[in-house]
Amino acid sequence: MAVRASADQGQHAIGWPLERRALPDLPPQNQPRLVAPPGGCEAGAVSALALTIETGWPTPDLWPNRRAHQMRVARARKTARTEGFWATRYVLPIGWKHDGKGRFKLTIEARPEVARTRDDDNLVAACKGVRDGIAQALGVDDNLFDLQPIIWGGKHNRGGRLIFTIAEAP
């Protein structure tokens, strides 16, 4: 007869330990950066949303011209969605809720590692997973995003960066 470990012994009934392991630190190029909105932000007094979210460059499997296997694309899109979700939750003001009305202006600033020409439409398709994660963190549908023209250039970083700027449309 098998004996179950009880909670007072430091394990769940199925044998998993009760303590949580610390999550590993993200590498520097994948750490989200908090940018304060102009004029500051007081807790509990959030009127208009203005966020700057920084994520890594999309993996090659997400680009439409790559034509990778569907499972590789699905895994890469899930990773991008998770990164977009947590980067947004990191910078989202505490207690902010969407009122159900209004749209958002979404601006993408692309800072690729290598300065060569790229297609705007391919970048938008490669960022679909990140946009889904941002929408999930905001608690809205991603059809509320009005995509602004893409800004190319800026300082080139190792690995490349994408900077999403989200503001509530007036």
Give the per-residue pLDDT at 61.
Answer: 87
Domain span at residue 112 reads 27-168
Q: Could you tell me if residue 83 is inside a domain?
A: yes
- Is 156 a domain residue? yes
Residue 82 confidence (pLDDT): 92
Would you say residue 157 lies in a domain?
yes
Residue 32 is predicted with a pLDDT of: 53
Q: What is the pLDDT of residues 113-161, one digit of tens each?
A: 877 777 888 889 889 999 999 999 988 888 888 888 888 876 666 778 8
What is the domain-level CATH number for residue 127? 3.30.1330.70
Say what the pLDDT of residue 5 is.
44
The answer to whether position 111 is within a domain reads yes
100 in a structural domain = yes
Q: What is the pLDDT of residue 65?
A: 81
Give pTM, 2 decimals.
0.70
Would 15 be classed as within a structural domain? no
Distance of CA 57 to the CA centre of its chain: 11
- Answer for the pair 70, 121: CB distance below 8 angstroms, yes or no: no
Residues of the chain with pLDDT under 50: 1-9, 34, 36-37, 39-46
Q: What is the pLDDT of residue 85?
A: 92
Cα–Cα nearest to 76, from 89, 90, 94, 64: 64
**Complete DSSP assignment for 39-108:** T---TT---S-EEEEEEEPPPGGGSGGG---HHHHHHHHHHHHHHHHHHHHHHSPTT----S---EEEEE
7 occurs within a structural domain: no
Report pLDDT for 112. Answer: 85
pLDDT at 96: 80
Domain count along the chain: 1
